[in-house]
A = this chain, B = another copy of it.
Amino acid sequence: MLENGSRGLTATRMGIDTQQELVVYMRSDCQVCRSEGFVAQTRVRLRLEERYIIAKLNLVSAALLAPGSIGLSDSAWHKLGAAEGDRLRVEHPHYLTSLSFVRSKIFNNRLSAQAIRHIIGDIAAGRYSDVHLAAFLTACSGDRLDLPEIIDLTKAMVSVGKVLSWPGRSTVLDKHCVGGLPGNRTTPIVAAIVAAAGLTIPKTSSRSITSPAGTADTMEVLTGVELSLEQLQAVVGAEGACLAWGGSINISPADDLLIRVERAINLDGEGQLIASVLSKKIAAGATHVIIDIPVGESAKVRSQKRARHLSTLFAAVGNELGIRVLPVITDGRQPVGFGIGPALEAADVMAVLQRSPQAPVDLRRRALFLAGLLLELSDQYAPGEGRAVAESLLDSGSAWEKFRAVCRRQGGLKSIPTAPYQRRICARTGGRVKSFDNRQLAQIAKLAGAPKAKAAGIQLAKKLGDTVTAGELLMTIHAETQGELRYAENFYHRVENVCRIE
């Protein structure tokens, strides 16, 4: 029998979106399944010509699949690049020897460069299941990677993806915020200013890891961010800047897979963080990078001490990998701007770029500060000169013009959606706003649907130090569905001191 002899089965798309996990479906009475013993296995290797994936095996009843067929989840279908009717071979996956290194790390041993390369190679090839990824991330978190391990991890992550080059441009700038501060959307403004100054900043951003919005999520509200490598190079060639999603050009495939599981377990360890950020900067071809590290009681980095430690590590790893990294410790006590969530943050960004009188002052100030430092880091401007140059480029409208030009090349500027469901949250007592809980605010915005629901999130009406009277508006929760609005509001009322007034 052909089916059994060649072990070929006909590919069919199941029409199941498994949220990125690779799943294949086989009939439990399938000859291949039985003769090869796949029934007893949880994972199989699926081959199409020279390409293959490792996927989770689900057994299905006869009603769901024709005899001689094998079903693929949407994610498996795309990853393998299958077409309806392709003949696929099903094999036993090789035993993953790199898992012994993960085990070793769990027991607190140092990993060699070779061990790390082995692990990251297997991850990038899609050979780790979600539980393996979760174990690796957990084992590496909480300061359990030392400096040589972080350097090796960064190198390994660079080596499994593409590395972009920018011929003719010796200085390539980039910036990154380690996160944890809702609304800190300086990147689009900084990129526009720096490019308006004639410098190069091919900005690729990630989508949210644990926050209600990543820069790519916010930019996607305003324009297209899923650019091909050719499109990206064309935009940068013409404008000196782009504002794209890094995932679509596959510059750090291992990181993309790790981030999905980090998001599920709401975890973002120190070594992993540095490797993730710097590997993407190096892969994007950056030579000079600023890292924004906001510090606050409820930010990702909670103390000056930890921020200084992180700064040292960032600079050391950058140095070892041949790029200049300038870490900057900033104020992370409250959200930046008024909006939290993709569309609401996009509105803040637009207000600053368009010099609206309602534009959030803190977002403008942070963007000018970082843009100024980046101008100076490039050696095009003298120390102390950057900030004034940045301000004149923003206030003259040059940055706004540059931003519009970039968006035009990325598919045009879109209008910002408004959430159909909104709930006003008012102060119970009067006084002064003493603190915000960034984590709870982020959680509420996520429960309201951000970042998947673009218009969802929170619009703050008050900021730190503002005077409030009882009954006055503190913030508005925005959602695209009533269920999510209720869910987010219930959470707000269950926790304490999201916004403390005294």
Q: A-side interface residues toward B, CB under 8 Å? A: 14-19, 25, 28, 34-40, 42, 56-61, 63-64, 73, 92, 95, 99, 102-103, 106-108, 129-135, 137-139, 141-142, 261, 264-267, 269, 443, 447, 449, 452-453, 479-484, 487, 491
Contacts and interface: CB of A to CB of B under 8 A. Distances in A.
A179 B209 CA distance: 39
30 contacts: A15-B64, A16-B25, A19-B58, A34-B481, A35-B482, A37-B449, A37-B483, A37-B484, A37-B487, A38-B483, A39-B452, A40-B452, A40-B484, A64-B64, A92-B483, A92-B484, A92-B487, A95-B447, A95-B491, A106-B138, A106-B141, A106-B267, A130-B131, A131-B131, A131-B133, A132-B265, A135-B135, A135-B137, A135-B265, A135-B267
A58 B18 CA distance: 5
A134 B138 CA distance: 8
Contacts of A141: 106-107
Contacts of A73: 58
A184 to B, nearest CB: 22
A122 to B, nearest CB: 14
Contacts of A447: 92, 95
A138 B39 CA distance: 28
A139 B129 CA distance: 18
A267 B131 CA distance: 11
Contacts of A16: 25, 58-61, 64
Contacts of A34: 481
Oligomer copy total:
2
A380 to B, nearest CB: 41
A104 to B, nearest CB: 10
A95 B446 CA distance: 11
Most chain B beta-carbon contacts within 10 A, residue among A14, A107, A131, A447:
A131
B17 A60 contact: yes
A269 B137 CA distance: 17
Contacts of A443: 95
Given A106-B138, A129-B264, A453 B59 contact: no
A479 B142 contact: no
A42 B453 contact: no
A466 B267 CA distance: 52
Contact of A15 (B19, B60, B264): B60
A142 B267 contact: no
Contacts of A132: 134, 264-265
A227 to B, nearest CB: 24
B107 A453 contact: no
Nearest to A144: B108
Given A15-B63, A491-B95, A35 B483 contact: yes
B95 A35 contact: no
